[in-house]
Chain A
Amino acid sequence: MKKILNAAIRFFLYLVLIAPLLLFGVYAFSERWFFPDVLPSTWSTAPFLRLFSDPKTVGGLLTSIGIALVVSLFSLIVAFPAARTLGLRRFPGRQFAWLLFFLPTVVPPLAVGMGMNILFLRLDLAGSFVGVILSHLVPTLPYTIFTLSGLFANYDENYEYQAIVLGASKRRTFFNVTLRLVFPGLIVAGLFAFLISWSQYLLTLLIGGGKVLTLPMLLFSAVSGGNPSTIAALSLLFIAPPVLVIALTARQLNQHGNAIKEQY
């Protein structure tokens, strides 16, 4: 009995998760789908063909991927030393540093974005890829720092000392010991950064000033037009890369997780 109940609850939860996606799938391949038809009267691949024949969509997709990848990388590079110190050391002003790093998640993005826009315009960074990437670092850093510092809180520095005692150089210690130990955490933190950068609309709009066109901007303007097939097709395109990235890294994570377990 309990088993059946469990299965039912599980099925229901899956349904709630997947139903909107299924609906998107149907909408994306439909032409006219009005109440009371249960299924679209005409099926069509036209919405997708239109998307892929539009250079702006393809360009937006590539721009989005490029920006999100660079942002994840930078975010990790900046967050790594900060997280290591915050996770491993106790020092005066540590709480204050935490607060500072978390400020961007508390302050409304609109306020941050507008101030940044004026500043970037003065620095001649607005409307450029560099500007957009820098602006994306603001909301991504708190998440990467938090994820990585959690990792360092349980990190045993003695592994590094061991390597040094055995004669490994600093570089070798970093790449062969430190990086390997924190690798799964790095992936998770990088994933966070990727997803947050991927879904940025406001900052890209304000800082990019229309010159840097990403997928969310195309999606927002399509939503304002209200054509359900186009919105559905664009949404599916929008969620595909993150899902792909998660699927790929999930496998990586598992492998590394197992490898680490074996080591211990």
Chain B
Amino acid sequence: MRKLIALLILSVFALSACTSIVQTQIVSSESFDINNWDSIVAAANGQTVNWYIWGGSESINSFVDNFYGEALKDRYNITLNRVPVADTVDAVNQVLSEKQAGKDPGAVDLIWINGENFATLKQADLLYRDWANKLPNSQYVNWDNPAINRDFGTPVDFQESPWSSAQFQFIYDSARMQPEELPRSYAQLKNWAIKNPGRFTYIAPGPGAFQGTRFVKGALFEISGGADQWATFDQTTWDKWSPELWAYFNEIKPYLWRQGETYPKDENELHSLFANKEVDFSITQAIVGAGALVEQGLVPQTSKAFVFEDYMIGDFNYVGIPSNAPNKAAALVLANLILEPEFQAAQILPENGFGLGFGIDINQVTDTASTTLLADASKKLGDAATSPSDLAKSLVGDSAAQYQSLIEEGWRQYVLLNSK
């Protein structure tokens, strides 16, 4: 539905762009030099930053208000206005509509963004450019890492700045299963599913359910024997391996929850099936594993995270500034604050409620106090989390963006609708 809105606005936008002369741009009155950080901080003084952010998690909401909101006020005299949206696409639609109406300055200063939403705004040329590498704390960001400088295959080009990281993991209930019973690869998972019919399911791959797509991609990596060959798009590689991929999912299909006729549509549905003991595994992206979910009471207290030996896809998420943002200086200060080692350390702790991983590379932090802080935080992830060494060992990057839709459409056609 929201996707539809985005598409409609985009098409109207494209049409009107063809027919009308470019709207006169009102140059925003705030003056700062992007290369002079002091001028940015001075311009941001007294501003309000309107941060459009997915508002579905109370714990993330309060983390944002308490940690960033207070620090912005105390240190920079900036007011944080967190605007909760039900889906990031709503914020993207807002920016697209503003552009179409020629409204500059608009309403949005900062968006929590990644993947297709970033690609949409970047393609429409609606993002503020060349700023992410100008932040003082950008020194902690490993811009050479392809997982950071490409967002689902789209070059980031310093049009967004990282916030946190996530990695695909499974969740099990230690009251129901022992660690040695857990499958550690897709091959073992198949055997486990056959032995325990109806006890496993996964999120249906599709737009907005990237965890499901990621689960299928992991299988593709394992079946084809490596993740590296999928980093660039190649049709012949796809044609070679995709039949085997669909064969795998059709083999396990009859042993899934409801014989694989229906699948949960997002993480929440899977968590709920898992919590109500209909299935034995759930899926998460959080670095604290099941920790934040246990705190929120969404899954049993005995829930823990685990990973396979290999092919657990990880990625980063970012913040972006629309080109018509009314308070760019304040948005820049906030994007920089997010990367402060003290807040990076705070965001991974389960009790603070955010629960995603570092956006910075802790090896690039040199000052001793910060290094200790970050290392301490890593140690305090709790026993609901996967150990950092297991995470690191199984970590692989995402595939080239072209495979995303091939996998989603192929899965629908050859697995979901396959009645054999």
Q: Which of B32-40, B53-61, B127-135, B384-392 contacts A (4 or more CB under 8 A)?
A: B53-61
CB-defined contacts of A6 to chain B, threshold 8 Å: none
**Of residues B9, B61, B87, which shows the largest number of chain A Cβ atoms within 10 Å of its Cβ?**
B61
Partner of B268, one of A50, A54, A126, A225: A225
B107 x A35 contact (CB < 8 A): no
Are the CB atoms of A36 and B277 closer together than 8 Å? yes
Provided the pairs A209-B94, A222-B56 are in contact, do residues A229 and B297 lie with their beta carbons within 8 angstroms? yes
A72 at the interface (CB under 8 A from B): no
Instruction: For the complex, give the distance between the alpha carbons of A209 and B62 in Å.
Output: 22
Q: Is A117 an interface residue (CB 8 A)?
A: yes
Using CB atoms, name the residue of chain B closest to A30.
Answer: B297
A88 contacts B by Cβ under 8 Å: no
Complex CA distance for A118 and B102, rounded to whole angstroms: 9
Q: Contact: A221 with B97, CB < 8 Å?
A: no
In the assembled complex, the Cα of A97 lies from the Cα of B415 at a distance in Å of 53
Identify which of A31, A222, A223, A226 contacts B272 (C-beta below 8 A): A226
Q: Which of B8, B101, B102, B268 contacts A226 (CB 8 A)?
A: B268
- A89, CB-defined interface residue at 8 Å: no
- Chain B 247-273, CB-CB to A under 8 Å as 1, else 0, gives 000000000000000000011110110
Q: Taking the complex as formed, is A71 at the interface, i.e. its CB lies under 8 A from any CB of chain B?
A: no
Most interface-central of B84, B102, B103, B300 (chain A CB within 10 A): B84
B215 at the interface (CB under 8 A from A): no
**Is the Cβ of B101 less than 8 Å from the Cβ of A122?**
yes
Considering only CB atoms, which chain A residue lies closest to B272 in the complex? A226
Question: Which of B86, B102, B297, B298 makes the CB contact (< 8 A) with A220?
Answer: B86
Please measure, in the bound complex, the distance between the C-alpha atom of A132 and the C-alpha atom of B143, giving whole angstroms: 43
In the complex, A32→B52 CA distance in Å? 30
Chain A residues closer than 8 Å to B364, beta-carbon distance: none
Q: Is the CB of B56 within 8 A of A225?
A: yes
Contacts of B100 in A (CB 8 A): 118, 121
From the candidates B85, B269, B300, name the one contacting A32 in the complex (CB within 8 A). Answer: B300
Q: B52 to chain A: which residues have CB within 8 Å?
A: 210
The verdict on A213 contacting chain B, using a C-beta distance below 8 Å, is: yes
B298 lies within 8 A of A223 (CB): no
CB neighbours of A227 from chain B (8 A): 57-58, 296-298
Contact of A213 among B83, B271, B276, B277 (CB under 8 A): B83
**B312 contacts which chain A residues (CB < 8 A)?**
none
- Chain B residues touching A, majority SS: mixed
A78 within 8 Å of B by Cβ? no
By the criterion CB–CB under 8 Å, are A31 and B5 in contact? no
- B84 engages A114 (CB within 8 Å): no
CA distance A220 to B87 in the complex (A): 9
- From 98 to 120 in chain B, residues with beta carbon under 8 angstroms from any chain A beta carbon are 98, 100-103, 107-108
Contact count band on B: 35 or more
In chain B, what residue has the closest Cβ to A36? Answer: B277
Q: CB of B50 within 8 A of chain A? A: yes
* Chain A residue total in the interface (Cβ 8 A): 35
Q: How far is the CB of B83 from chain A (nearest CB, A)?
A: 4
A121 touches B268 (CB 8 A): no
Q: Is B301 an interface residue (CB 8 A)?
A: yes
Measured between alpha carbons, how far is A206 from B275 in the docked complex, in Å?
36
Taking a contact as CB atoms closer than 8 A, the residue among A32, A50, A217 that contacts B84 in the complex is: A217
Binary CB contact string for chain A from 77 to 108 against chain B (1 if under 8 A, 0 otherwise):
00000000000000000000000000000000
A170 at the interface (CB under 8 A from B): no
Please state if B56 and A121 are interface contacts (CB–CB under 8 Å). Answer: no
Chain A contacts of B301 at CB under 8 A? 32
Partner of B83, one of A211, A220, A222, A226: A211
Q: Known pairs A121-B98, A218-B55, A224-B87. 20 more at Cβ < 8 A?
A: A32-B297, A32-B301, A34-B276, A36-B277, A56-B61, A56-B82, A110-B5, A114-B97, A117-B101, A121-B101, A126-B107, A206-B93, A210-B52, A218-B84, A221-B85, A223-B86, A224-B86, A225-B56, A226-B266, A226-B267
* 20 A-B pairs (CB sep. < 8 Å): A32-B300, A34-B276, A50-B58, A56-B61, A56-B82, A56-B84, A114-B5, A118-B101, A122-B102, A209-B97, A210-B90, A210-B107, A211-B50, A211-B83, A218-B84, A221-B55, A223-B56, A227-B57, A227-B58, A227-B297
